Amino acid sequence: MIKKIAILGSTGSIGTQALDLCRRHPDRYRVTALTARGSKEKLFEQVREFRPEMAGLTEGINPAEIPADLKFCRWMSGKEALKAAAAEVDADQVLVSIVGIAGLQSVLDALEAGRQVLLANKEALVTGGHLVTDLAAKTGKPLLPVDSEHSAIFQCLQAAGGNRPEKILLTASGGPFRTWTAEAIAQATPEQALRHPNWSMGAKITIDSASMFNKGLEIMEARWLFDVPAEQIEVVVHPESIVHSAVVFRDGAVLAQLGLPDMRVPIGYAMAYPERLETGVEEPDLFALKSLTFEKPDERKFPALRLAREALKAGGAACTVFNGANEEAVAAFLRKEIPFGEIARRVEEAMDRLAGLPADCLEEILEADRRARDVVRSVPQ
Ligand code: NAD
Ligand code: MG
């Protein structure tokens, strides 16, 4: 059976790798919608190749700019484009691979329309975890994680036979600054932070990997996906990025998923679940690797982990504040307006100032996000 797939954020790192899998398996996938923020030329190329019914740019598209050979496609602009791709265009699966809290509305739209959601956008769970998981439970379709660690945990749980895990071991590469001093990290430049040792990803998540905010966001993501309290999620630094995470059971058994650091494996697993696709990725050569190493994270050098746990404990909108403040601070860092060390400081400031905000509905979540960004913008240097 051919699966129809809509891809939100198709020009990004995850989106292009998903399309690579669609290209490899034309007999299994038909692309029905593609969206991007502003990369017009890249989107044109993708529409030419995959011929979706609908395509859209959230930054807008002038009908006069659409090449003559691409007029067969329905072109849309702005938030309407995301809404149509998530919920209106005919699709079995919706891959949400846009960046940031912008993904929350799309995930809710896709679930409400009864679509199978392939979730790359972790921010939807970080900010609206209870709304998303409640809605997913009603549809009866599991959220299929694309994030490599969460895909690994999900894969390990397939062998759990209903047994609940005692603990989740969430692995982290440690990023480019793992061996740096706290003083050197505080002054790191965007060029240094964008040089990830193992993974090639979009800019925002690459900076988050360097600060370990990504791992903080992933603790929150795991808490919602697997309904496990934060105390049972342990971060394990594993610089080789071969073990993508593991699950511990009460009998002392640990199940882990291993593979090369290539996102086509978790993307393909979500796309074909419960089957497995040929992805073009080789198995890791254990003889060449020889050893795999593990260490405890240094929470003094990477305050993001402590802040994430504090946010989870506080509840309400604290995780949304953590996320929104970080998004805003990362953008300022990439514009070279603030030093690297200032990212965590501003997030902590926002969490302190906005303690106790509610997050019961989408409006409250979006309000907390706005206020967190305002705090980050207003903190004096
Ligand atoms: P990216 O920056 O490479 O691509 C993002 C895509 O979404 C692009 O097509 C862009 O045009 C579009 N986009 C960005 N912001 C948007 C907005 N506000 N509204 C609409 N469209 C927007 O990002 P990425 O690295 O592919 O990451 C996508 C998501 O997947 C993120 O949530 C990230 O945390 C998650 N993720 C990525 C990786 C990875 O390897 N890249 C791994 C795990 C999780
Ligand atoms: Mg990850």
Q: Predicted confidence band at 380 (pLDDT cuts at 50, 70, 90)?
A: confident
User: Can you give the pLDDT at residue 158?
Assistant: 96
CA distance 331 to 66: 30
pLDDT digits (tens, 9 = 90+) for 201-235: 999 999 999 999 999 999 999 999 999 999 999 99
Give the closest residue (by CA) to ligand 1 atom 2: 202
Q: Do residues 231 and 126 make contact, with C-beta atoms less than 8 angstroms apart?
A: no
Q: Give me ligand 2 centre to Cα 155, in Å.
A: 14
Q: Report residue 163's pLDDT band, with 50, 70 and 90 as the boundaries.
A: very high
Nearest to 36 by CA among 113, 110, 95: 95
Whether the CB of 202 sits within 6 Å of ligand 1: yes
Residues 129 and 263 in one domain: no
Q: Indicate whether 89 pLDDT > 80.
A: yes
98, 105, 153, 208, best to mutate for ligand 1 pocket (most atoms within 8 Å of CB):
98
Is residue 8 situated within a structural domain? yes
Nearest-atom number in ligand 1 for the CA of 203 is: 2
pLDDT > 90 fraction of the chain, expressed in percent and rounded:
97
Identify the residue whose C-alpha is closest to ligand 1 atom 32.
121
Phi, psi of 169 (to 5 degrees): -105, 105
Residue 29, domain member (yes or no): yes
Indicate if ligand 1 lies below 6 Å from the C-beta of 217.
no
Ligand nearest to the CA of 206: 1
Percent of the chain clearing pLDDT 70 (strictly above): 100
335 is written with which tokens?
Answer: 């514009």
Closest CA relative to residue 32, chosen from 10, 64, 1: 10
- Is the model's pTM score more than 0.95? yes
Whether 129 and 8 share a structural domain = yes
Q: Is residue 310 part of a domain?
A: no
- Strand extents, DSSP E, 189-316: 233-237, 243-248, 254-258
Asked if residue 307 is part of any domain, the answer here is no
Q: How far is it, in rounded angstroms, from Cα 234 to Cα 288?
A: 28
Q: Is 13 in the pocket of ligand 1 (CB under 6 A)?
A: yes
Domain boundary among 142, 172, 207: 142
Residue 371 belongs to a domain with what CATH number? 1.10.1740.10
Same domain, 119 and 152: no
Let me know whether 169 and 129 are in one domain.
Answer: no
In 29-183, beta strands by DSSP E: 29-36, 54-57, 74-77, 93-96, 116-119, 144-145, 167-172
* H-type alpha helices, 7-101: 13-24, 40-50, 78-83
For residue 67, what pLDDT band results from cuts at 50, 70 and 90?
very high
Q: Are 175 and 306 in contact (CB under 8 A)?
A: no
Name the average pLDDT for the chain: 97
Nearest Cα neighbor of 368 from 323, 319, 321, 308 is: 321
Query: Above 90 in pLDDT, residue 199?
Result: no
Counting ligands in written order, the one closest to the CA of 78 is 1
Is the Cβ–Cβ distance between 171 and 148 less than 8 Å? Answer: no
Domain containing 98 — which CATH number? 3.40.50.720
334 and 292 within one domain: no
Pocket flag, ligand 1, residue 43 (CB < 6 Å): no
Q: Which residues pair with 237 in a beta bridge?
A: 172, 295
Same structural domain for residues 94 and 198?
Answer: no
Is residue 304 in a domain? Answer: no
In this structure, the answer to whether residues 151 and 292 fall within a common structural domain is: yes
In this predicted structure, the answer to whether residue 166 has a pLDDT above a threshold of 90 is: yes
Same domain flag for 319 and 255: no
The answer, yes or no, to whether residue 381 has pLDDT greater than 80, is no
Range of the domain at 222: 147-299
Tell which atom from ligand 1 comes closest to the C-alpha of 148.
43
Ligand 2 center to residue 147 CA distance, Å? Answer: 5
Determine whether the shortest distance from the Cβ of 15 to ligand 1 is under 6 A: yes
Q: Is residue 12 within 6 Å of ligand 1 at its C-beta?
A: yes
Does one domain contain both 138 and 153? no
* 222 and 291 both lie in a single domain: yes
Of 102, 103, 85, which Cα lies nearest the Cα of 94? 85
Q: What is the Cβ-side half-sphere exposure of residue 91, based on CA atoms within 13 angstroms?
A: 31
In a domain, 45, yes or no: yes
In a domain, 240, yes or no: yes
What is the total count of domains within the chain?
3
| Edge-to-edge strand list for the sheet holding 254-258 | 233-237, 167-172, 243-248, 254-258
| pLDDT tier at 108, thresholds 50, 70, 90 | very high
Q: Tens of pLDDT along 272-308?
A: 999 999 999 999 999 999 999 999 999 999 999 999 9
pLDDT at 167: 98
Q: In this structure, are 132 and 167 located in the same domain? A: no
Provide the pLDDT for residue 249.
97
Is 348 contained in some domain?
yes
The per-residue pLDDT for 379 is 84
Determine phi and psi for 356, rounding to 5 degrees.
90, 5
Whether 96 and 106 have beta carbons less than 8 Å apart is answered as yes
Given 110, 142, 174, which residue is the final one in a domain?
142
> Could you give the 3-state DSSP secondary structure of residue 246?
strand
Q: Is the pLDDT of residue 265 over 90?
A: yes
Instruction: Map tokens 């594993």 to a residue.
Output: 238
Is the CB of residue 316 below 6 angstroms from any atom belonging to ligand 1? Answer: no
191 and 109 inside one domain = no
Final residue belonging to a domain, choices 299, 333, 366: 299
